[in-house]
A and B are shown apart, each in its own frame.
Chain A
Amino acid sequence: MNETRLPPPAEKVRRVTNLDIAIIASVIAILVFIYYRVEHVLVYNWNWGLIFEYVIRIDEATGDILPNLFLKGVAMTLRLAFWGTLIAAVIGIVMGLCRVSNNLFLKIGSRLYVELIRNIPPVVFIFVFYFFISSQIIPLLGLDNIEKTFSPTTLAVMRVLFGPTELFTNFLAGLICLAVFEGAYITEIVRAGIQAIGKGQWEAARAIGLSRYHVLRDVIMPQALKTILPPLAGQFITLVKDSSIVSLISVQELTFLTQDVSNTTTHFFEAWIVTAALYFMMCFPLAVLFQRFERSGMGMQKH
């Protein structure tokens, strides 16, 4: 091969077209209009300072800077998202395997689970399921008032991991709801990932005498994972956002606490704008991060 045969240098096209100008102009017009409405028609008395006190507050006695309701909400949302994803991933993988199983009972059971959740509004699901969990499952597992049985060190760790101990049962109920809900979507991601692997791989693996477990573990799942991880990462971001629905059952995460703030201060706009910004700040970096990973092949060796 001739080494001097380089491709022509790529031409960078970065011209501003008329369309660009039109778009920029309309965006500016819309912003000006909104500003006008808010300032002169709505006559809204902005008070950002008050709201920011709910983000961080300075302790009057000690002078320490402490997180206030918003940041506590963020912490709780992140806890929900983290544990929720872990549990939902476990549910999703188990149920996903059931979806492709040969066993009719497992197949029907997992299908039923997915279809039930996908065809009920999340809000309705949360109310129905919350009632079921908090009144049946948690007492059944002996998890109500569990915090009273822990030593102080355990409690300190638990506080970091699961939030305020007095709200532990409540958090757990919300977490299970969220995980069961998101698990259905992850189930479908896992199923699609497994089914994307060609029949030939199953057959070759079976033909060298691998058991069903090892076929899945050594041959199918490692390949399926490549298909599964990108949508799974997307689902994680969705979960951060969806976690706001557990505010309905009084889990004290960001959305719930924002309702608190906006009710006590009556500065709805500021409160919700701050919350929107906080959600964005949680989700957007994740989205960028996952895109990076995806481009580098999820950090997995290709060859």
Chain B
Amino acid sequence: MTELSSTTDSNADRKELLKFNGVGKWYGNFCALWDINLTVHKGERVVVCGPSGSGKSTMIRCVNLLESYEAGEILIDGSPIKNDPKSMQVIRRRVGMVFQNFNLFPHVTVLQNLMLGPIRNLKVSKKEAEETAMHYLEKVRIAEQAKKYPSQLSGGQQQRVAIARSLCMHPEAMLFDEPTSALDPEMISGVLDIMVELAEGGMTMMVVTHEMGFAKQVADTMVFMDHGEIVEVAPPAEFFTKPKSDRTELFLSQILQH
């Protein structure tokens, strides 16, 4: 625990990779995000939690512009992320995303799922794309399934493929939106193991999850959201033992009961 909080302290001399500056988003009159301010340093692992509908998904989806936002800005390496098609392609190359429902492309093989992004966006050759793909498939321990179609894989395997697909773009940061929520319990650890390895490898990560065990293990920073706002940002040692906000405490008591 002490070791984890010391990591957070060392953020001071790390480079700021992602920075939310007063981000706000509305669906009509409904405010989904309000005044989001958050800094994610290079190599930092941020775990986001909060009740359903609190805006966790919306917040991380703003980073790679799967959602647009009306107020504020998000900076990457100090420069604002613009929303013209060209900049969108660039930000999506630099920041990968893993979804709750894997969203693999069902009409092509696992290998082709991984090769598509690099070939189209990074403009690498087929051969190079295939080598990269096989490299990451080995990393997620699924290389022998390369020639199969997604539907022939278990949920856990599919999610590992989805992680590998993101990694093939050589992203500087990865966003995870409840990556284990759609999995059968026995599949969860396989996916979490991969994510722990990624974290240990120094990947900058923003993870929305209810897996508090994972959070305690890898998080440098915990973020608690409610009603579209960030209620609390704290290193896990503090977050789990002496949360500042009552809402955080209530949420944690509910979630840790299970």
Q: Are B105 and A206 in contact (CB under 8 A)?
A: no
Determine, out of A47-55, A77-85, A209-217, the stretch whose residues face the partner at the interface: A209-217
Minimum CB–CB distance for B20 against chain A, Å: 19
Chain A residues, CB < 8 A from B162: 204
Contacts of A226 in B (CB 8 A): 107
The yes or no answer to B85 lying at the interface (CB within 8 A) is yes
Q: Across the interface, which residues of A come within 8 angstroms of B90, CB to CB?
A: 209
- Do A209 and B93 have beta carbons less than 8 Å apart? yes
* Number of residues on chain A facing chain B (CB within 8 A): 20
B169 interface residue per 8 A CB criterion:
yes
A16 within 8 Å of B by Cβ? no
How close is B145's CB to chain A, nearest CB, in angstroms? 12
By beta carbon, the residue of chain A nearest B106 is A223
Please give the distance in Å from B18's CB to the nearest CB on chain A. 16
For chain B, which range describes its interface: under 10, 10 to 19, 20 to 34, or 35 or more residues? Answer: 20 to 34
Judge whether A204 and B99 touch: CB under 8 Å. yes
One of B42-50, B116-124, B243-251 at the interface: B116-124
A204-B104, A303-B152 given as contacts; is B66 within 8 A of A210 (CB)? no
Cross-interface CB contact of A200 among B64, B88, B103, B121, cutoff 8 Å: B103
CB contacts under 8 Å to A, within B155-170, are: 162, 165-166, 168-169
B149 touches A209 (CB 8 A): no
Is there an interface contact between A210 and B105, defined as CB atoms closer than 8 Å? no
If A210-B117, A218-B116, A303-B149 touch, does A205 touch B97 (CB 8 Å cutoff)?
no
Q: Which of A203, A208, A214, A218 contacts B169 (CB 8 A)?
A: A208
For residue B151, CB closer than 8 A to chain A, the reply is yes
Is B101 interfacial (CB-CB < 8 Å)? yes
Q: A286 vs B244: C-alpha distance in the bound complex, in angstroms?
A: 72
Residues of B participating in the A interface, judged by any CB pair closer than 8 Å: 64, 66, 85, 88-90, 92-93, 96-97, 99, 101, 103-108, 116-117, 120-121, 148-149, 151-152, 162, 165-166, 168-169
Provide 22 A-B residue pairs closer than 8 Å at the C-beta atoms, listed in order of the A residue: A200-B103, A203-B66, A204-B99, A204-B103, A204-B104, A207-B166, A208-B96, A208-B117, A208-B121, A208-B165, A208-B168, A208-B169, A209-B88, A209-B90, A209-B92, A209-B117, A209-B169, A210-B120, A211-B85, A223-B106, A303-B148, A303-B151
Given contacts A205-B105, A209-B88, 12 further A-B contacts (CB under 8 A): A200-B101, A200-B103, A203-B99, A204-B105, A206-B66, A207-B96, A209-B92, A209-B117, A209-B169, A210-B120, A222-B107, A223-B105
